[in-house]
Copies of this chain bind each other. A is one copy, B any other.
């Protein structure tokens, strides 16, 4: 039996993606060659790259102004690449400080220009999302993290950002393609692939070409988005296999009914989970209810001494990755696109059983 995998990333992908990727490692599309040994400049791989980028455009319903890139690295790479490409030395960028990853993005931006912290929930341990933004010094862009993986908060209403009229840059690593959203409202979106899109080792970057080339900064070739756009996301040898896994995952996502269908099932999974959590007094959610993430549910036990006992029960029942992030402790149940409803049913059953034994 496949364990229920609630890991936060690298995380569960659709079963059929594992199976198709496994086959392609032996024989890719009847070529007799493994996907790992095919040159990236071959027609065979070019068609993988083309279809993957086209599927992103289709699933995100991007307009003609948006380019799609698959770049080496993870979101941490984008933390510096974004300001390096977008923030002139004397200019200001506004950042929302809503978690550890957001704070890391702020630190990197400070190397390239001025940073205005538009809002912060740091003083209360990032347990909610601030409802107001303070914008000053005419920021050239506003950066947000749509879902905070470690704390389990997610911006449910993005209009506070849309209303600023500022160019928006978003780290969507942990909730991209999990809900309907007007992706065209963003000048730049980035996401490490290893949660909702595919395998670790590649970044999805979606951006408007028109925002580039305004910093006066001379960039290393590999860090200049313009070079990657010009080269069709093939400036150097790309992370071939990671991109292929993205292709398989995106095909699956489309077959499920796309983002709209994902939003529906993700809503059902989150409802079941949080309703169970709220009905069981032995457990306690750690963030403001209105800001709860549909991707990562973070919670603790009223009696922290029983933590090990709960984790052991989870392990015994074939639940993987329930332990919380090392900075928050407690538990985290991640419910990315590929996590089936059955897994949420299974863990909520375990939670109910545990609650009963504690009565």
Contact = CB atoms under 8 A, between A and B. Distances in A.
Interface of A: 1-3, 5, 7-13, 17-19, 21-23, 25-26, 31-34, 36-41, 72-77, 79-80, 84, 104, 107-108, 111, 192, 194, 199-202, 218, 220-223, 235-242, 245, 318, 320-321, 326
Contacts of A22: 22-23, 25-26
A82 to B, nearest CB: 11
Nearest to A76: B236
Nearest to A198: B36
A33 B318 CA distance: 11
Most interface-central of A11, A194, A241 (chain B CB within 10 A): A241
B72 A74 contact: yes
A199 B245 CA distance: 14
B199 A240 contact: yes
Nearest to A78: B222
Nearest to A240: B200
A12 B37 contact: yes
B108 A221 contact: yes
Most interface-central of A5, A23, A26, A239 (chain B CB within 10 A): A239
A331 to B, nearest CB: 14
B80 A223 contact: yes
A111 B73 contact: no
A201 B72 contact: yes
Given A10-B240, A41-B326, A200-B237, 6 more contacts: A72-B74, A74-B237, A76-B236, A80-B222, A201-B240, A201-B241
B19 A36 contact: no
Given A22-B26, A36-B21, A222 B79 contact: yes
Contact of A7 (B38, B77, B107, B318): B38
Nearest to A23: B22
A76 B227 CA distance: 13
A19 B194 CA distance: 23
Nearest to A8: B39
Contact of A236 (B36, B74, B241): B74
24 contacts: A2-B32, A3-B31, A5-B33, A7-B37, A7-B38, A7-B39, A9-B237, A18-B34, A18-B37, A19-B26, A21-B25, A22-B22, A25-B25, A40-B200, A72-B73, A72-B77, A72-B201, A74-B237, A80-B221, A111-B220, A192-B237, A200-B237, A201-B242, A242-B242
A17 to B, nearest CB: 8
For the complex of A and B, 3 pairs with smallest distance between CB atoms: A201-B239, A80-B220, A76-B236
B77 A222 contact: yes
A21 B236 CA distance: 24
A105 B166 CA distance: 38
Contacts of A34: 13, 18
Most interface-central of A11, A37, A192, A238 (chain B CB within 10 A): A37
Contacts of A3: 31-33
B221 A104 contact: yes
A222 B39 contact: no
Most interface-central of A26, A201, A238, A240 (chain B CB within 10 A): A201
Contacts of A107: 221
